Amino acid sequence: MNPAVLRQLRAPLAACALGAAAVLGFAPTALAPLPVLSAAGLLWLWQGAAAPRRAAALGFAFGMGLFLTGVSWVYISLHDYGDMPAALAAVATLLFCAFLALYPALVGYLQARLGGPLAARQLVLIPALWTLSEWLRGWIFTGFPWLSLGYSQAESPLRGYAPLAGVFGLSWLVLLCAALLLALMRPTRRGAAVAALALVLGLGYGLDRIEWTQPQGAPITVSLLQGNIAQDLKWDAGRFASTVQLYQRMIERSAARLTILPETAIPRFLDLLDPALVSALAASARRHGGDLIVGVPLRDGAGRYYNSAISLGASPSQRYDKIHLVPFGEFIPPGFGWVLSILKIPLADFSRGSTAQAPLALAGQKIAVDICYEDAFGEEIIRPLPQATLLVNVSNVAWFGDSLAPHQHLQISQLRALETGRDMLRATNTGMTAIIDHHGHVVAALPAFTQGTLSGSAQGRSGATPYVRWGNAPLLLLATLLCCVYALRHRKSVAPL
C-alpha cells in the first residue's frame, strides 16, 4: 500500500482501536478506567485534526470501533433467531453501527468547526457536546442509548454523581477526566490537572456515601424465576405445556412474598389461557400470602395487543403494559412493513401502553415495573417515582444469545438503581437475573443460561434523589448553555468547512 495512504489511515485506525478498547470498560470486564483512557486518546487525535471533516472522520472511526465491538450482538437476533440471511444480517448490523457512529462524528465535526483554545475545547466544549450527542442518540427514532460511556462507571468513584445527574452526567465526567489526563502532559498545567482530578474523584467518592432515600416498611422476601427457555423454542406451540408446567413447579416451590417471572414467561395471550391455570397460579401465591408478577401478552377487543406484566395472588390483580417498544422487534415503523417478509419475529406489532400507569400495589410495596429494553431510558424509569418504592425489570434477552448483551443490560439496571435510590429486581428468561440494591450493587445473581430461582430480600424505599426530581433537564440545559456561550465567545475563530 502507498506510504502516503498508510499515513492517512493511521489516525482513523487508531481511533477505531480506541473505540473497541472502550468496550472493555463495560460489563462483563468492567475495566472502568479504559473508557477514560480511550476518550483521552480520541481527544489527542482530534488535537491533530484541524479540519472539521477530518475530525468527524476520526469520531466516526471511534464510534465504529465502539459499536461494532459492543453491540454487534444485534446480528444474532437478526440472523440466528430472526432467520434473516447471514449476508443481509451482516449488512444490517454494519449499517446500524454506522448510524450510531454518526454521533461521535458529529461531536468531532462541531468541536473542530468551533475551534477556540485547545484547553477550553477539551475541558468545556467536548464534554458538553458529547453529553448532548448521547442524549440525542437515546431519543432520535425512539432512541438507542446503549453503551453511553457513563454506564462504564457503575463501579468507579464517578458513580456517586449518578443520583444527581444520571448516566449522561457520568458520560460528561468521563470526557472531563479524559481532558484532565491530557492536561497532565503539559508541565505548566500538571498541578492544576492533578488537583482537579482528585477533586472530581474525591467528590464522587463522598457523594456515593450519601443516603438519598429512606427505607419504606420492612424488607420483603422475593423469588426471581429464570426458566432458561431457548429463544428458538419459546414460541413453539408444542413446547407450551412444558413451559407452563416448568413455571408452575417453580412458583409452587416459592414461599416468597413477591415472586417474579420473566417477560412473556407465558408465551400465549392471556385470554387464550385456561382459566383454571390462571386460578391455580394465583392460588399458589395466595397460600403463603404472596403475589406474582407474570410476563404475558394481552390483547383487547379492538385487536390491539400489548407486551404486559400482570399480578396474581393476595393483592387485587393489576397489570402493566410496556410503553417504550423496540423498533422492528415489537413494532414496525411506518413504511417498513416489508421487513416482516425477511424477519421471523412473533408478535411484531405491539401497541404502546399508557404513560399514566400507576405503580403496582403488591406485597405491601408500590412497584414500578418496566419490561426489558425500557430500563435503558432513565427519564422514563423515574416517571412513576417517587411514589414507587421498588423497581422491577422483567426481560428476555435470549434474542442475543451468549453475547455481551445480558451483561451490559445488567449494568444498565445498576445505573437505574443508583439514579433512583431504589432496589432493582430483575427476572430474566436466560440471564442476568439479579437483585440490585439501592446503591447499584449486585447483591445476588444467577448464572446466565441456567434454570433456577434467585431467592433473597428487597427493601422498599421512599424519597427522591435529585435525578428523580429533575431528570436530565438541568444537565441538558447546562450543556446547551455552555455550547452556546462557547460558540458566541469563539465565533471569530470558526474553522472553514
Q: Which of 134, 263, 330, 419 is catalytic?
A: 263
Residues 6+ apart with CB under 8 A from 105: 56, 57, 59, 60, 63
Residues 6+ apart with CB under 8 A from 91: none
Whether 322 sits among the annotated catalytic residues: the reply is yes
Q: Which of 97, 177, 372, 483 is catalytic?
A: 372
Alpha-carbon torsion angle 408, 410, 415, 419, nearest 10: 150
CA dist 290 and 200 (Å) reads: 45
* Cβ neighbourhood burial of 467 (10 Å; 0-12, 13-18, 19+): buried
Q: Which of 97, 322, 366, 374 is catalytic?
A: 322
Closest CA to 44 of 149, 198, 181, 172: 181
* H or E stretch at 458: strand 452-458
Buried b (16+ CB within 10 A) or exposed e, 374-395: bbbbbbbbbbbbbebbbbbbbb
Contact 143, 137 (CB under 8 A): yes
Grid cell, residue 67, equals 459499536
Strands of the 360-362 sheet, one edge to the other: 360-362, 365-371, 390-395, 424-428, 434-436, 442-445
Contact 154, 415 (CB under 8 A): yes
Instruction: Please give the positions annotated as active site.
Output: 263, 322, 372
